[in-house]
A and B are shown apart, each in its own frame.
Chain A
Amino acid sequence: MTVRSDVPGDVNADEEAVRLTTQPKPVGLARKGDLLGPLRRGWRQLTSMRTALLLLFLLALASVPGGFLPQRRLNPLRVNQYIAQHPGTGPLMDRLRLFDVFSSPWFSAIYLLLFVSLVGCLIPRTRLHLKALTSKPPKVPRSLAKLPVNDRWETVNGVDQVLDQAGAALRSWRVVRREHEISAEKGYLRETGNLIFHLSLILLLVGIALGAFGGFKGTVLVVEGKGFANTVASFDDLQPGRRFSPSSLVPFSVRLDAFRATYGPDGKALTFDADVRWAPLGGAEKRDDIRVNHPLDVGGAKTYLIGHGYAPHIIVKDSTGAVIDDRLVPCLPQNPQFLSTCVIKEANTTGTQFGFRGVFTPTTVTDSTGHVGSSYPGLRNPVLTVAAFSGDLGVDAGTPQSVYSLDTTAMTPVDGGQAHALLPGQVFHLPGGASLTYADTQEWATFQVTQDPGKGLALVAAIGMVGGLMLSLFIRRRRLWVRVRAGAIDGAPTTVEAGGLARTDPDRYADEFAALVRLLRPVATPTTSSTPTSTNQEERP
């Protein structure tokens, strides 16, 4: 049978039928004299797939220095170190914002352009997809034989019977029957998923922005027995968002009862626990155990355990024997075995002020040169080694000082700067009758409190991204057409033509198409199909 010229469908309709994509068609150039022409062209350029692709690669490339160089937001100390080690290139790199990649103007420019491009691409696609969702599958193209998968056979069944059969076989498809033809389409969710994924990306950006503007992060060091309140004043370090208002702080307070760390025989940390009592403002006190991976959540403000260390308990007496200081001094760990350093300042002694530099070692070992070290992070053989200085601490000058550093410019070393190793309970006698006692050892923990108002939105967006991606990558959009022609004379067989098109995974569609055709095609009828059938009449289309 030859293809007749009066087959319905014109060239344009054919083009529409085989354009199985929701990408907008390229639009012609703007008219001459159109003032908005250059703008429109620029917009079209920006929203083209090619530009989006370029911006994606730029985004990846721009992130690379952030993945190799130390970043100020994560580790300012290492950034300074790096700049000091590279006096030639370091400052230049700093000026190029290579140590603040993710807040640099060039990084922001790339992702903002990418998102503008994305919005510009999403709007027409959403419109097209909504149109596709509400419209019928396109008409049957003139030549089904030109489609990637196609078949043709003859049957004794009548035209209506074949079309009914086809309609039944295509029940899960969107089907439209036009006279003696059927157009069917399936897999609309692919584009729906695609749009959900990209919309979720925008939502994610909004969530991140909400957190960056309205959120805050504060860290505070607490020794056992002490606590803190969730107020701006109580944090040692506070990183508020640009639009953060202190009134949004959830009012609660936390007290650290005890901190416990356990270690394996090789010194690897096994567990960290902070036993706390906490209470909302004016509320009853509750107990909790803050661990790594287990923060305390009070009304959206989360308290994390982020660090720990030792705090020797010291007692200072003046020359009369009266206790002038009795407290826990937090020592900052310097290595994995918790060799820690601290500073003790005694400014409230009448007359001379005393300052001490201390090294605390939880499991103390002394090498041949007399240097102390620590061989294990657990508390097995604690020693506090102190060197004392007397004179002026400089704290009365009014300039703020760190509690972890000692300015000895106006001080003289006691005992020629000789360090004294103290075991728990031992006393360091100072000239003039004063003394420092290392009573015992407690621990400290650092807590971080964060509030991120954009977190929930970001999570919703993330779920949307995964869901949308799965739809858009696993669902295949495909079309199938059937055209039936009655025999020329009564009793002549009916001719059935079928063709299909899928943009993705054509192999799988070929199998699906074959299975569908098998349902429609009666076994053992003479065929004019291009696929040769085997002699035993087994159907293998």
Chain B
Amino acid sequence: MTDQSLGQLGDGLLLATVVVYALAMLGYAGEQASRKARRAVTSVRASSQVLVGAGGPSVSLPAETVTVERASRSGRFAIALTACGWAVHVLSLVFRGFAAHRVPWGNMYEFSSAVALVAVSFFLVLVARGRVERALGAFVMLPVVLYLGLASSVLYTAAGPLVPALNSYWIKIHVAAAIMASGSFLLSGVVALLYLLRSRYDAQLTARRTPHFPVSLGAQLPTAPVLDRVSYSVIAFAFPVWTFAIIAGGIWAESAWGRYWGWDPKETWSFITWVLYAGYLHARATAGWKGKKAAWVAVAAAGALIVDYYVVNIFVVGLHSYA
């Protein structure tokens, strides 16, 4: 097979990945919808029991059983689809790498794809370990699908060789670490946003107000403490990796540009991101900053990361502007 057709195969597989992920997202959403229906049934039953009086015969409604089954089937289907999509995703990057005869993270298109792969992998690991409910999938896959869709339309670059500055084994180390950390950070940013959503939902319920969309989505989410813990553990994993990525970048910069740190825009934004995540880790241990404030810091840090990759690469002139 020629390099060109290999590259095209990789691109096609990435599109397939997006489609499969989107289907998985529908599966998760389907599971939630049937659950919601069940909740409605249960609450109707509960209120009718109250009306009839406690101790009345609690007959399980056949409709409920059906919806529960449909819900779990839909959820299982979604998780299986996510796993399939993940495998296709890996393949697409492998073909890219063979087509270009290098690591498949040499430009922004490939980089974005790899970052999304890390986020999905992390999510699958969390579900497999029972740290989060798979229902979270709908909220995770939506940004992943959007992100991959944007990457493969706006940032598309055909497979090709690297500019000389990138021709170094450090691209394997520095960029791989950066991708690992970024995928995790973006996932934690999504979870932190969901935490804020869930907190608002809880607060409105406590205040006896009826949550409206999008706050009403909070009902589908894991509890706030769970989301907070997940967001923290993902950041706790990613922060040392990010630190390592910056340091590896410094070592590479020292051999490529003659200095390990020079406040190049990309370096500056990596530093801002790093400082904000350091702030998050401290905030979580400081009275008065736990919970919502810390979550906002995590969201701001993820924002800085996005600026670091996309705004800096596209709009700001610097040494990293080659992707």
Q: CB within 8 Å of B: which residues of A? A: 23, 49-50, 52-53, 56-57, 59-60, 63-64, 66-68, 70-71, 73-75, 78, 101-102, 208, 217, 264, 268-272, 291-295, 302, 304, 306, 448, 450, 452, 455, 458-459, 462-463, 465-466, 469-470, 473-474, 505, 507
Given contacts A268-B163, A292-B167, contact A60 B276 (CB under 8 A): yes
Q: Is the CB of A466 within 8 A of B164?
A: no
Given contacts A64-B272, A67-B272, contact A292 B312 (CB under 8 A): no
Closest CB in chain A relative to B82 CB, distance in Å: 23
Closest CB in chain B relative to A195 CB, distance in Å: 15
**How would residues 285 to 323 of chain B score, 1 for a CB under 8 Å from any chain A CB and 0 otherwise?**
110110000000100000010010000100011100000
Q: How far is the CA of A60 from the CA of B271 in the complex (A)?
A: 8
Given contacts A306-B258, A465-B243, contact A63 B170 (CB under 8 A): no
Question: Which of B243, B297, B307: most chain A Cβ within 10 A?
Answer: B243
Q: Is the CB of B275 within 8 A of A60?
A: yes
Q: Is the CB of A74 within 8 A of B263?
A: yes
Q: Is the CB of A306 within 8 A of B257?
A: yes
Given contacts A295-B258, A304-B257, contact A469 B243 (CB under 8 A): yes
Q: Is the CB of A56 within 8 A of B164?
A: no
Given contacts A49-B286, A50-B286, A78-B317, contact A293 B165 (CB under 8 A): yes
**How would residues 250 to 276 of chain B score, 1 for a CB under 8 Å from any chain A CB and 0 otherwise?**
111011111111111100110110011
Q: How far is the CA of A64 from the CA of B307 in the complex (A)?
A: 11
Residue of B nearest to A467 (CB): B240
Closest CB pairs A-B (n = 8): A67-B268, A293-B168, A469-B240, A304-B258, A56-B279, A60-B275, A462-B247, A473-B236
Given contacts A60-B272, A465-B243, A469-B243, contact A270 B164 (CB under 8 A): yes
Q: Is the CB of B304 within 8 A of A60?
A: yes
- CB-CB under 8 A from A50, the residues of chain B are 286, 288-289
- CB-CB under 8 A from A505, the residues of chain B are 229, 233
Closest CB in chain B relative to A474 CB, distance in Å: 8
Residue of A nearest to B238 (CB): A473
Q: Is the CB of A455 within 8 A of B254?
A: yes
Range, interface on chain B: 35 or more
Closest CB in chain A relative to B223 CB, distance in Å: 13
Closest CB in chain B relative to A476 CB, distance in Å: 11
Q: Name 23 interchain pairs, CB-CB below 8 A, sorted by A.
A: A50-B288, A53-B279, A56-B276, A57-B275, A57-B276, A57-B297, A59-B275, A60-B276, A63-B268, A67-B269, A67-B312, A68-B265, A70-B317, A264-B160, A268-B163, A293-B167, A293-B252, A295-B255, A302-B258, A306-B257, A463-B247, A466-B247, A505-B229
- CB-CB under 8 A from A271, the residues of chain B are 164, 167
Closest CB in chain A relative to B193 CB, distance in Å: 19
Closest CB in chain A relative to B108 CB, distance in Å: 15
Residue of A nearest to B293 (CB): A53
Majority DSSP secondary structure for residues of B touching A: helix
- CB-CB under 8 A from B236, the residues of chain A are 473-474
Closest CB in chain B relative to A148 CB, distance in Å: 13
Q: Is the CB of A63 within 8 A of B271?
A: yes
Q: Is the CB of B258 within 8 A of A272?
A: no
Q: How far is the CA of A424 from the CA of B269 in the complex (A)?
A: 48
For residue B283, CB closer than 8 A to chain A, the reply is yes
Q: How far is the CA of A450 from the CA of B289 in the complex (A)?
A: 44
Q: Is the CB of B239 within 8 A of A469?
A: yes
Q: Is the CB of B258 within 8 A of A217?
A: yes
Q: How far is the CA of A257 from the CA of B52 in the complex (A)?
A: 99
Closest CB in chain B relative to A345 CB, distance in Å: 31
Residue of B nearest to A506 (CB): B229
Closest CB in chain B relative to A124 CB, distance in Å: 16
Q: Is the CB of B258 within 8 A of A53?
A: no
- CB-CB under 8 A from B265, the residues of chain A are 67-68
- CB-CB under 8 A from A208, the residues of chain B are 261
Contact of B258 among A52, A70, A73, A448 (CB under 8 A): A448
Q: Is the CB of A52 within 8 A of B282?
A: yes
Give chain B interface residues in 194-249, CB to chain A under 8 Å. 229, 233, 236-237, 239-240, 243-244, 247
Q: Is the CB of B275 within 8 A of A63?
A: yes
- CB-CB under 8 A from B264, the residues of chain A are 74
- CB-CB under 8 A from A302, the residues of chain B are 258
Q: Is the CB of B163 within 8 A of A74?
A: no
Q: How far is the CA of A269 from the CA of B167 in the complex (A)?
A: 11
Q: Is the CB of B289 within 8 A of A75?
A: no
- CB-CB under 8 A from B163, the residues of chain A are 268-269
- CB-CB under 8 A from A73, the residues of chain B are 262-263
- CB-CB under 8 A from A459, the residues of chain B are 251
Q: Is the CB of A74 within 8 A of B260?
A: no
Q: Assuming A304-B257, A462-B247, what are 5 further A-B pairs, CB within 8 angstroms?
A: A49-B285, A59-B275, A102-B263, A302-B258, A473-B237
